Structure 1
Amino acid sequence: MPRQPRLIIPGLPHHIVQRGHNRQQVFQDDRDFQYYLSNLEEWKQALGLTVYSYCLMTNHVHLVVGVTDETATIPEFMKRLAGRQTRFTNQRRKRSGLIWEGRYKTSPIDSDAYLLGCCRYVELNPVKAGLVDEAERYPWSSYPARIGREISDWLDEPSAFTALADTPARRIACYRSFVSDTAESPADSVIREAIATNRVTGSAEVE
């Protein structure tokens, strides 16, 4: 059976998931996480992407990125991130071979409501996995920077986040309330199904 092609729609933000090869652990210590994030910052700037949200779990990553009108930008971005992390990991551990699955998954996001929902979904991953009891306690996601607990000069703010309130403090309060409700929402199942099947995340079909 032929593999389902990735769906990339120019101009829309995309939810991206890449897993370790055979679901193996990719990030084993702080240096692994830090190296990936430094490359995420570098390549987002070099390729003109926006990064709205991220979460690095031990054996997979979630990214929510905005792209230009170039459909090749996401493949180039992911190639650079994966390639550098593979070389870094293999050199550190004196090994060779793959550390990532051959194909990452993508899901274009067709509305601001689902964009903010995707950010929440991504940043709640460590809570859902039982690693922490609050999203802000996990150091390898965008959530601490989003709520002002950490300083980031490269994380981008979705327009849907800006629209939450008229001041930064109120926006943070609204978003914290949104994320602190960890109960499964109808949007969560839409997001999960869309990324699993490389389809659009949202309520409308995008041609």
Structure 2
Amino acid sequence: MARLPRLAVPGYAHHVMVRGNNRLAIFVDDADRLKWLALQAQYAAEFEVRVHAYVLMDNHVHLLVTPATDQGLPKLMQFLGRQYVSWFNRRHSRTGTLWEGRYKSSLIQSERYLLNCMVYMDLNPVRAAMAAHPGDYQWSSYLHYAGKRVDNAVAAHPLQWGLGNTPFAREAAYIELVARGVGASLAKQLTEHALKSWAFGDSRFLDGLQLKTTRRVTKTTVGRPSKIKN
């Protein structure tokens, strides 16, 4: 069966996942993680992709981004992936692929799911028992939004700006959102939609999105979405 082309639409938020081959580690140490973040910032700027959030796990990465052009996201992931693998292989005296196929992405309905997607991403290290609290894990954008550090490579989405009238209010509101967490059903759907590269939103959103692309945006016929427990 022919694989579907990537779904990338300018101006929409995309939840992106990239995994290590056979789920092996793509980061050996902090130097690897710093290199990834440097390349991520470089190519995001070059290809006009706003990175709203990220989390670097041992064997995979989550990004939440909004591209300004239809080629912005594919170009970002192409150059980032190739340059990082080249550097990683030289540094660790290895050859061959590092990735488990192509990157996966899900275009999401921002007003319904963007903030929840950020929370889901920030809680990944906790779910994986890599940290007791998101604030204990330095390789995500949580510390930036919690007011614990400044990450110039992160561009806040307008919905995050809407959490409060001052930086302190926005930070406090985001900390509270993360403390509430996301329900297991929503977390599962965010994961599955990203892995299958389907858009995630209600029927009105999906109908409107389908008008902007010839690529099918969802597996099933657009209709009433299943009820999600948050």
Q: Same fold (TM over 0.5)?
A: yes
Provide the alpha-carbon RMSD of the alignment: 1.4
Percent of paired sites with the same residue? 33
Aligned to 2:63: 63
Displacement of 1:185: 5.1
Structure of greater Rg = 2
Letter in structure 2 aligned against 1:141: S
CA distance, structure 1, for counterparts of residue 153 and residue 29 of structure 2:
23
Q: Comparing both chains, which one has the higher relative contact order based on Cα–Cα distances under 8 Å and sequence gaps of 6 or more?
A: 1
Give the length in aligned residue pairs: 206
3-state secondary structure, aligned to 2:48: coil
Q: Which moved more, 1:27-36 or 1:187-196?
A: 187-196
3-state secondary structure, aligned to 1:22: helix
3-state secondary structure, aligned to 1:121: helix
Note if contact 1:114-1:187 (Cα within 8 Å) is conserved in structure 2.
Answer: no
3-state secondary structure, aligned to 1:200: coil
Map 1:72-87 onto structure 2 (within 5 A). Answer: 72-87=71-86
Q: Is it true that 1:193 corresponds to 2:189 in the alignment?
A: no
Note if contact 1:54-1:141 (Cα within 8 Å) is conserved in structure 2.
Answer: yes
Note if contact 2:13-2:110 (Cα within 8 Å) is conserved in structure 1.
Answer: no
Displacement of 1:15: 0.5
Structure 1 residues 189 and 95: alpha-carbon distance in aligned structure 2, compared to 1, 3 A threshold? closer
Note if contact 2:20-2:26 (Cα within 8 Å) is conserved in structure 1.
Answer: yes
CA distance, structure 1, for counterparts of residue 173 and residue 185 of structure 2:
19
Aligned to 2:26: 26
Note if contact 1:116-1:158 (Cα within 8 Å) is conserved in structure 2.
Answer: no
Letter in structure 2 aligned against 1:169: F
Displacement of 1:171: 1.1
Displacement of 1:192: 2.1
Q: Which moved more, 1:93-102 or 1:180-189?
A: 180-189
Displacement of 1:165: 1.6
CA distance, structure 2, for counterparts of residue 58 and residue 125 of structure 1:
11
Displacement of 1:150: 1.3
TM-score normalised by length of structure 1: 0.94
Aligned to 1:45: 45
Aligned to 2:140: 141
TM-score normalised by length of structure 2: 0.85
Map 1:1-207 onto structure 2 (within 5 A). Answer: 1-68=1-68, 70-182=69-181, 184=183, 186-204=185-203, 205=206, 206-207=209-210
Structure 1 residues 100 and 82: alpha-carbon distance in aligned structure 2, compared to 1, 3 A threshold? same
Note if contact 1:21-1:101 (Cα within 8 Å) is conserved in structure 2.
Answer: yes
Note if contact 1:142-1:155 (Cα within 8 Å) is conserved in structure 2.
Answer: yes
